[in-house]
Amino acid sequence: MLSTLNIFFLNICIIFLVLSVTFYLMRNRLPIQRDSKFSTRFYFGLANGMTGILLIHNSISLNGAYIDLRLLPLALSALYGGPISIVTTGLLLIVYRIILDTGDSMIALQNSIITLVSFVVLVLLCTRFIKQKAALFTVIVTIGSLLVLVRMLSSEAENNAWQSIYVPYFLITIFASLLFYRLSGMLQEHFVLYSYQSYLASTDQLTRLANRHVIMDKVAVLEQDQAPWGVILFDLDYFKAVNDQYGHAVGDAVLRHFSVLLTQECPDDVTVGRYGGEEFIAILPNTFKVSPAQLAQQIVSTVTKTPFVMQDHALSITVSAGVAFARRQSASIVFKQADAALYEAKKNGRNQSHLYSN
C-alpha cells in the first residue's frame, strides 16, 4: 500500500513538473487555447505526450495489475489545445507503445492502440460540441475511464478484476483529475500574469515601445561584446506647441503615430524605444548591415511625408535626429555624442538628421 502511494505521488509530481516547465517555456504564448497558433498547440501536445510516456514508465502496481495516469495529459491536451494537441499527444503515445511492446504482446498492443484511438476520436467529437471547460474535462475523464472498463471486461481478466483493479483505478483517476484540473488552471493564470507583469516592466505604456530600462540593458550587452553598434536619438520638432494648441490627448496620439512609423521603418534587429518625453531612440546592433545615418535620414523623410490625421484636418509633424557610432568608447559617451548631434540638427533648422563627428 505504501509503495502504491509513493508511485502515485511520483506520478503527480511528474505531471506537475512537466506542466510547470511547459507553461514557463511557453509563457509568451499563453493562454493556450483552441485558436492559438498551430505551433503552440503542437508543442503543448508534445509536452503532454512526453508526460504520458513518463507516466507509463512509472505505472502503479495495483492488485497484480499495472495502471497509469496517461489519461490526464490526454485530457489536458484536449482541454487547452483542442484537436491539434490531443492528436499530437495520442500519436506520440501510440508510437511509444509500438516501440515498447514486442511480438509476444501483439494482442495487448492492438487493444491498447484501439482504446487510445477510440478515446481520441470520441474526445474530438466532444470538443466540437462542448465549449465549457469544466464540463469538457469531466466528459473526457469519464470517456477515458469507461473505455478502460470496457477493455478490462473484454479481456481475460478474473471476474472480480473490475472490483479489485478498476474501482481503485477509477478513484485514483478521479482524484488526480480534480487536482490537476484546478492546478493547471492556476498555473496558466500564474504565468499569464507573470508575462503581463514582465511586459509592463519593459514597455512604455503610451507607445508600446521598449522603455529606457530595456534600452540600457540592450546597450550593456553590446558594450560588453564590444560589437560595432550605433544609436539614433529622435526628437519631435515643436512638440510643446502641439500640446499647447491641441491638448495633451492629441499630443499623445502624435507620439503613438511616430512610434508606429519608427517601428515600421526600422529592421527587426533594431531596438526602438521611447527615451523620455518626445524623445525616441533606436539602437543598431550591426552598423555594417544597416547604416545608422541612412536609416535616420530615411525616418526623417518618412515622418515628413506622413502627416498625423485628425478628424478635421492633417497635422504635419517633423523630427530631428542625432546619430553616433560606438568605437570602443563607453555607452555614456556614445549617448552624449548622439545628443550633441541631435542638438546640431535642431540648431541647423530641424527636420533633419546629423551625424556626430569630432
How confident is the model over 50-90, as pLDDT tens digits? 998 888 888 776 666 667 788 888 888 888 888 899 889 98
3-state secondary structure (DSSP) of residue 43: helix
| pLDDT for res 1 | 57
| The three cell numbers locating residue 288 | 555594417
| pLDDT for res 349 | 93
| pLDDT for res 271 | 92
| pLDDT for res 69 | 81
In the chain, domain spans:
2-201, 212-355
| pLDDT for res 101 | 65
Phi/psi region, residue 11 (left: phi>0; alpha: psi -120 to 50; beta: rest), is: alpha
| pLDDT for res 148 | 73
Q: Euclidean distance between the first and final Cα of the chain, in Å?
A: 81
Output the average pLDDT for the chain. Answer: 84
Phi/psi region, residue 277 (left: phi>0; alpha: psi -120 to 50; beta: rest), is: left
Give 176's Cβ-side CA count (13 Å radius).
28
The answer to pTM > 0.95 is no
Query: Which of these, 82, 58, 85, 81, lies nearest to 69 by C-alpha position?
Result: 58
Report CA dihedral (54, 55, 57, 58) to the nearest 10 degrees.
120
| C-alpha–C-alpha distance, residues 283 and 304, integer Å | 22
Query: Which of these, 149, 34, 137, lies nearest to 84 by C-alpha position?
Result: 34
| C-alpha–C-alpha distance, residues 178 and 120, integer Å | 20
Strands (E), the chain: 60-62, 65-67, 230-236, 271-276, 279-284, 308-309, 314-315, 319-325, 353-355
pLDDT digits (tens, 9 = 90+) for 289-340: 888 999 999 999 999 999 998 777 788 999 999 999 987 788 889 999 999 9
Quickly name the fold that domain 212-355 has: Alpha-Beta Plaits (3.30.70)
| C-alpha–C-alpha distance, residues 354 and 321, integer Å | 6
For the chain, percent helix, then strand, then coil, each to nearest 5?
A: 65, 10, 20
| The three cell numbers locating residue 58 | 512509472
Rg (CA), the chain: 30
| The three cell numbers locating residue 322 | 542625432
* β-pairing verdict for 353-355 and 319-325: parallel
| C-alpha–C-alpha distance, residues 54 and 253, integer Å | 53
Between the CA of residue 243 and those of 248, 300, 309, what are the distances in Å? 5, 21, 15
Please pick, among 156, 223, 265, 278, the residue that the annotation labels catalytic. Answer: 278
| pLDDT for res 161 | 58
Query: Which of these, 87, 84, 90, lies nearest to 71 by C-alpha position?
Result: 90
Query: Which of these, 136, 22, 31, lies nearest to 79 by C-alpha position?
Result: 136
Other beta carbons less than 10 A from residue 185's beta carbon: 16
Residues of the chain predicted below pLDDT 70 = 1-4, 61-66, 101-109, 152-166
Between the CA of residue 38 and those of 41, 121, 309, what are the distances in Å? 5, 19, 38
Burial of 156 (0-12, 13-18, 19+ CB in 10 A): exposed
| C-alpha–C-alpha distance, residues 260 and 317, integer Å | 14
Contact present, 19 and 184 (Cβ < 8 Å): yes
Is 158 a residue of the active site? no
